[in-house]
Amino acid sequence: MTAISVKVKRGSSPQRKPRSHLLEVLVRSLIILCTALSVVLSSIAVCDGHWLHVSRGGILGLWSFCTMETGVTNDEPGKSATPVGGNARTAARDLIDQDQVALGGPRALVLLNCTTLLAQTGTTGLKWGLGLCRFAVSLAVVAAIFSLELHVVSQVSEGRDASRRWVLGSVLVLVAAFMSVTGVVMFVALVWEYVSLMGFTLTFWCQLAAAFFFFLSGMAARHIHHMNVPAPPSGLLGKC
């Protein structure tokens, strides 16, 4: 009875259609491209670090707290900007160069003054909390870069080595997605009292989009790998 069952199963198994190799290469290339785009977005968001506009006219970020101060400068060479209404001791750069007030007259400048003394925000615990946020999002970028390298190398490899590299790269992309989401959630939880929907900067939304793309790339990479795993042999069937 067992032998008859095995022969019936073998004879009735449908023939598998060969998968299109070109379509598989295209999908894998799109996954690699999406991961590379996510790495760029996340790197910009982490390096800039200015994620939230607070109500007092400042910008709170991963690395520093910045305030905007107005200054006046003349068109004459050799004259520097004079601060108005604030201390420009740590002026990092000029954000906006406003239109000239009068022809040949002074011009108004808005200076972005940044400091790493996060106690100026009036909230305790930001130093260690933002430190953990920085660690999480930075580790996400590193993991995503290694996953991107493994995915690219797997495309020029063959056999089990290529499969192992692709799987490891998929795992690292999912780790990057988890770390990115963790950093974003921790940041929002720390500055919850300052949060407003319009207060988040473009770099914050870049980080959120990068986390979403990391997750999509990782899930797609795992799915296409499981699709290409050969099915177990059908000769070993259970007894009737």
Two tokens, residue 154: 């797997």
Judge whether 109 and 94 are in contact, CB under 8 Å.
yes
Domain end, chosen from 93, 115, 137, is at 115
The DSSP secondary-structure symbol of 19 reads: P
Least confident of 56-60, 86-90, 198-202: 86-90
Alpha carbons 173 and 3: distance in angstroms, whole number: 47
Statement: residue 26 has pLDDT above 80: yes
Predicted pLDDT at 92: 39
Two tokens, residue 202: 């473009």
Statement: residue 127 has pLDDT above 80: no
Q: Among the ranges 20-24, 106-110, 148-152, 194-198, which has the highest mean pLDDT value?
A: 148-152
pLDDT digits (tens, 9 = 90+) for 62-104: 887 777 666 555 544 444 444 444 443 444 344 444 444 344 4
Predicted pLDDT at 44: 93
Percent residues over pLDDT 90 in the chain:
32
Predicted pLDDT at 38: 94
Please indicate, yes or no, whether residues 30 and 148 belong to a single structural domain of this protein: yes
Q: Which residue segment(s) compose the domain that 175 sits in? A: 22-55+121-228
Please indicate, yes or no, whether residues 42 and 159 belong to a single structural domain of this protein: yes
For the chain, what is the radius of gyration of the CA atoms?
Answer: 28
> Any idea what the CATH number is for the domain that residue 210 is in?
1.20.140.150
